Structure 1
């Protein structure tokens, strides 16, 4: 019976496992790259709404960045 004794079925499973692992690693690398591009921000008063926030990016709080589509 093909595959029962660890023949080509094991090879297919090994290949599938390797492909899955490679795909997972590439996805993790892509996420890390995007995460590194997120600006750190600084605490302060938002230049648009005047509210104090623990994280301003380019002088704008998250709410104003979203509302004004500032990125």
Structure 2
């Protein structure tokens, strides 16, 4: 898996050569825009979780990795 923000990925990686890798990108907008397929989206760094006293990153996973690995739905 490759992680980064869109600007870093586009400026530093040849994404056409990474088609076989999952991409996890950070973009803090209402809707993601990324010209390549992606598996995870980090949509904020200011999330709140009960029991944690500081901001946390929140992500949306678009792939069920447990199912992909085991073949069983979770």
State the TM-score, normalized to the length of structure 2: 0.27
Larger % of strand: which? 2
Greater C-alpha Rg: 1
If asked which structure has higher relative contact order (CA below 8 Å, sep 6+), I would say: 2
Larger % of helix: which? 1
